[in-house]
Amino acid sequence: MSEHSPPALRVGMAGYAFMGSAHSHAWRTAHRFFDLPLTPELTAIAGRNRAGVEQAAQRMGWASVETDWRALIEREDIDLIDICTPGDTHAEIAIAALQAGKHVLCEKPLANSVAEAEAMTAVATEAAKNGVFAMCGYSYRRTPALALMKRMVHDGRLGTIRQVRAHYLQDWLSDDNAPLTWRMDKTKSGSGALGDIGAHSIDAARFVTGQDITGVSAIMETFTKERPVGGELVGLGGHGTVSADTPRGPVTVDDATLFTARFDGGAIGIFEATRTALGRKNAMRLEVNGTLGSLAFDFEDMNFLQFYDSRDAADALGFRRIMVTEPVHPYTGNWWPTGHGLGYEHGFTHQVVDLVRALGNKTQPTPSFADALGVQRVLAAVENSATNNSNFTTVESELPS
């Protein structure tokens, strides 16, 4: 590093699987395409399996390894802890890191319960008073087309928001023989499709509209009650090959969740999260209807945004397809020439960019833990409504004292 290079931001990451790979790529890449006030350094990565974490460190560019996340927090050469572990560990790691004076990036959903999320938020609020900041990783916010969607809503292009339609559809658990993993264990994951992917839809709807969800009415279903133990996934959720005597274990989370919602700005919404919609691979879809127009986004067509403007001439009315690759669009000016689209990984890079810029400016990055607590409370209200067959469940709104 030259004497004119920005100071280092030394990162320690806990976890090295799917999210660990995505985050590692982002930490390696962000400062090579964006001007940042701090230069990320991949200082150490932690995982319980030494052989596995050493292979991950070599493959993903980490300088050293630890087999206990506590060692990351104890190291004086680490400034930020990146949490890419299952949800049941988020609270313990984040609280310990913040209390040790380390910045925190925590994967979503923030925790496995409202109580854990409240505790994390309280500690983060205190830490911020001393210039130590925490952010939750809702990476879809950083997809250029979705960020443009928020900008257009904020600028009044849709008028008053009336309806929100949010669906997150995957199919990797359609096969009853897909093996049992931690994502199907409520004690580790908190919930199934609801928290795994539905949380993204909730955050995106709140982010784009600028409105909070105040109440929900929900149903949840687990279609496959037991799954094979000890099988292997192909990709995120390939199909299992099992024999008749393969042991099966209980699935303790939802396969699919649907709910209606009311927003504090007067809008109403409908949400669906499922991991059993055959043919849908990663259809994170959001449509917002207002008094002047509509916007629609689908991550399976992630470089485009659909816009309907009711003020167009009668002979030109209809949804227009905006290719979100121009330099004037969010984030895109730092990448490729116009028309050369971005991919899934770029959202994580943009997440690092926004986080590092906030840390460099000593300001609170978003979404904060308080923002993520808002999502956690919606998740809890949805589960409560579905469990109790309630017609309407109010979402808590008070921040922890």
Pick the CATH number of 144-301+303-342 from 3.40.50.1980, 3.40.50.300, 3.30.360.10, 3.40.50.2300: 3.30.360.10
**What are the angstrom distances between the C-alpha of 31 and each of 8, 93, 102, 325, 337?**
11, 26, 21, 20, 19
Residues 266-281 pLDDT 10s: 999 999 999 999 999 9
**214-245: buried (b, 16+ CB within 10 Å) or exposed (e) per residue?**
bbbbbebebebeebbeebeeeeebeebebeee
Residue 389: band (very low, low, confident or very high) from pLDDT cuts 50, 70, 90: confident
Contact (CB, 8 A) for 88 and 62: no
Return the pLDDT at 245.
79
The one-character DSSP state at 179 is P
Residues 296-320 pLDDT 10s: 999 999 999 999 999 999 999 999 9
Instruction: Enter the tokens of residue 142.
Output: 């950083």
Q: What's the CATH architecture for 8-140?
A: 3-Layer(aba) Sandwich (3.40)
Residue 235: band (very low, low, confident or very high) from pLDDT cuts 50, 70, 90: very low
Return the pLDDT at 234.
45
Residue 397: band (very low, low, confident or very high) from pLDDT cuts 50, 70, 90: confident
Return the pLDDT at 242.
65
Residues 48-69 pLDDT 10s: 999 999 999 999 999 999 999 9
**110-147: buried (b, 16+ CB within 10 Å) or exposed (e) per residue?**
bbbbbebbbbbbbbbbebbeeebbbbbbbbbbbbbbbb
CA angle 223–229–233, rounded 5-degree value: 80
Sign (positive/negative) of CA torsion 183, 184, 185, 189? positive
Return the pLDDT at 44.
98
> Which residues are CB-contacts of 361 (< 8 A; sequence separation ≥ 6)?
37
Which among 367, 370, 377 is positioned nearest to 115, based on CA atoms? 377
Question: What is the phi-psi region of residue 153: left when phi exceeds 0, alpha when psi lies from -120 to 50, beta otherwise?
Answer: alpha
Return the pLDDT at 239.
53
Instruction: Enter the tokens of residue 68.
Output: 């206990």
Domain boundaries, the chain: 8-140, 144-301+303-342
DSSP of 127-177 = HHTTT--EEEE-GGGGSHHHHHHHHHHHTTTT-SEEEEEEEEE--TT-STT
